Amino acid sequence: MSFKPKHTIGNKHNMITFNIILWLFFFCALLFVFSDYPIEKIDLIYTVSYLITLVPPVLLGLYFFIPKFLKKGKNILFLIIMVTSTLLFALLNIYFHDKFIDFLFPDYYFISYLRSSQTVLLFITIVFLSLFIRLAEDWVYFNQKEKATLQLELSVLKNQINPHFLFNALNVLYSLSIKNKEETTQAILQLSDILRYGIYDTDNEKILLSKEIDLVKSFIAFEKNRSAKNADITFEYLFEKDQEIPPMLLLPLIENAFKHGIKSGVQKPYVHINLEEKNNVLFFQITNNFLRKNDNNDYSGIGLENVKKRLDILFFKKHDFKMTTQNTKFNISLNIEL
């Protein structure tokens, strides 16, 4: 089963609801600014006429200029167009209230509440406040959707890792059982410890580093049951603080070393594992040799790919993951800011 992350975020912006709330808010705010209490009919007419001249620049910004320019990365062009558009409609507003409003409502005598400079400033404030509210709505929805998407992706990756490990573990038991080895009973107990971890601990977002270390120890002991007798397998660890890390984060890397290293048939196989936690940084390195059967040895199985995807999600820009191959030596180094 392959899983390709999809981060496409849909937009559930309700245009009608959004604009009803937005314009009601602006209507009340402007009515408060323009009215002398008690509120009279002329105050309502003036406020509505003011809003009518605000509608075009706001709607153009929300539904044309943002998707056409801002969301395509044309930020400077977007800013220039928005300022120009706002100034243009501010001037039209001034012209409208100077020349036409008395003609449309001859029974009323209108006096401008604001100077021309104040009108321009008010237009800029309202237009850009509308844009900010719209972008804030997008940001909130984007983050909610992104969080849900990442949680789903992590769940899928975990579900891939666990069956992958179990498949390999059953192969070990099968290999031991057909040879009637005495180690079979001990291997079953070791596998039981590993599966207990997989059942009860992998549902947690974080587990203690010491638990992950215990898992690594159990796995190494389990794998030794079918490793060559002369295999040089070492695991050294040191930590200042028992930090919390995502479960099953390191095991796929170790699985990879055994699968492509010791089990490749290489002479004098070795797997050297080093783990250290210092100053809230986790340092992990694993080195193994392998038998080069061709020039395209593939180390990018499900386990490694899932580890890289999980790291990108859980420790975005807070980790460094490197794989290097030199002759018959393969090395993985991982540093994580905890």
Could you read off the pLDDT of 160-194 as tens digits, one per residue?
Answer: 445 556 666 677 676 667 666 666 777 777 777 77
Q: Which residue has the higher pLDDT, 205 or 106?
A: 205
Q: Are 207 and 245 in contact (CB under 8 A)?
A: yes
- pTM of the entire predicted model: 0.52
Q: Are 53 and 92 in contact (CB under 8 A)?
A: yes
Give the Cα separation of 118 and 230 in Å (integer): 86
Give the Cβ contact number of residue 240 at 10 Å.
10
Mean per-residue pLDDT, 3-22:
64
Q: Which residue has the higher pLDDT, 26 or 105?
A: 26
Q: How far is CA 113 from the centre of its chain?
A: 49
Structure tokens at 336: 């994580």
Give the Cα separation of 220 and 255 in Å (integer): 9
- Sequence spans of domains, the chain: 15-144, 181-337
Instruction: Please state, rounded to an integer, the average pLDDT across all residues of the chain.
Output: 79
Question: 């936690």: which residue's tokens?
Answer: 277
Q: Single out the residue of 268, 201, 277 nearest to residue 236, CA to CA.
A: 277
Among 30-39, 165-174, 203-212, 245-254, the minimum mean pLDDT is found in: 165-174
Give the Cβ contact number of residue 326 at 10 Å.
7
Q: What is the CATH number of domain 181-337?
A: 3.30.565.10
Could you read off the pLDDT of 307-337 as tens digits, one per residue?
Answer: 888 888 888 889 999 999 888 899 999 999 9
The pLDDT value recorded for residue 223 is 80
Give the Cβ contact number of residue 108 at 10 Å.
13
The pLDDT value recorded for residue 210 is 92
Long-range CB contact pairs, 315-318, < 8 A, 24+? none
Asked whether residue 67 carries a pLDDT value surpassing 80, the answer given is: yes
Dihedral angle of Cα 190, 192, 193, 198, to the nearest 10 degrees: 130
Note if the bond before 38 is cis, omega within 30 degrees: yes
Could you read off the pLDDT of 89-126 as tens digits, one per residue?
Answer: 988 888 776 666 656 666 665 566 677 888 889 899 99
Structure tokens at 133: 């509210």
Mean per-residue pLDDT, 289-310:
69
The pLDDT value recorded for residue 103 is 63
Mean per-residue pLDDT, 290-317:
72
